Amino acid sequence: MNRIGTLHRLRRYPVKGMAGEDLEAVRVTHAGLLGDRVYAFVDAQGPADFPWMTARKGRDMILFRPRFLAAMPIEGGIFSVNYSTEVTTPEGQTSRVDDPEFTQFLEKRYGRALELRHSERSMTDAYPVSVLGLGTICGLSKETGLSLNPLRFRANFYIRWNSDEPFFEDQLVGQDLQIGETVTMRVVKKDGRCVIITLDPETAEPAPVLLEKVAREHAGCAGVYGAVLREGIVRANDPVYAA
């Protein structure tokens, strides 16, 4: 196998639309990273093809910070997982994500009827995992004149490719990658982007020029999606191979 990069950063999002967390290691299943997007809030008035309440409808939702109250299992067989989750609001208050009063709090904040949904299968928009190269972030920073925080792209795997060419990952569509010792994924398609990438993950302040640049110069895409072919453990700084 040919080593083509290094897993620079590994990230999971316990509640869809809210802030994520950096990980040292995680189990990756056919459904995605264990614990990734296992909770989501459904907008009763939302369209059937995208029913989720996200920062598209309330941009400060990305400032809510969820955390699991029990450690997620990494090694060995998994028969039961404790998904108990606490969320800290931008104002510093904490609530259990499954507390009905927290749903009511969000309904009042965003003026929408919401329902909490839980699934052990990641509730992603397209495929189970997303990948973004650091060179792409650097390239877009130069194109826009902005110092872009990588977290605004909400990827699972941030990879430092051996090639620092921006959008190098686009060349990998249709290929298989191995990350670490066991996990294999197929790069399926480019990641079509929406207004979320314009939001600063620390302040939720918008920078519309970023989406304009991605739409005009890069067919609306930044990063790629992948399907998991072989499950296993991945760790930050694992090598990435063209399988």
pLDDT attached to residue 78: 65
pLDDT attached to residue 213: 97
**For 52-90, how does the pLDDT look when each residue is reduced to its tens digit (9 = 90+)?**
999 999 999 999 999 999 988 887 666 678 999 999 999
CB atoms within 10 A of CB 145: 8
Say what percent of the chain tops pLDDT 90.
Answer: 90
Which position has the token pair 């990827």? Answer: 155
For residue 85, what are the CA distances in angstroms to 95, 104, 186?
Answer: 9, 17, 31
Q: Cα–Cα distance between 11 and 64 in angstroms, integer? A: 16
Which position has the token pair 């977290």? Answer: 151
Q: Cα–Cα distance between 66 and 55 in angstroms, integer? A: 15
pLDDT attached to residue 81: 87
Q: Which residues contact 20 (CB under 8 A, 6 or more apart)?
A: 11, 12, 13, 14, 151, 154
Spatial CA neighbour of 41 closest among 119, 117, 94, 122: 117
Q: Which CATH architecture has domain 2-242?
A: Beta Barrel (2.40)
**For 198-237, how does the pLDDT look when each residue is reduced to its tens digit (9 = 90+)?**
999 999 999 999 999 999 999 999 999 999 999 999 999 9
Q: Which residues contact 37 (CB under 8 A, 6 or more apart)?
A: 13, 14, 15, 16, 122, 123, 124
Spatial CA neighbour of 60 closest among 171, 199, 154, 240: 199
Which position has the token pair 């694992």? Answer: 238
Q: At what angle do helices 134-144 and 208-217 cross, to 10 degrees?
A: 110
The number of angstroms, rounded, from the C-alpha of 88 to the middle of its chain's C-alpha atoms is 19
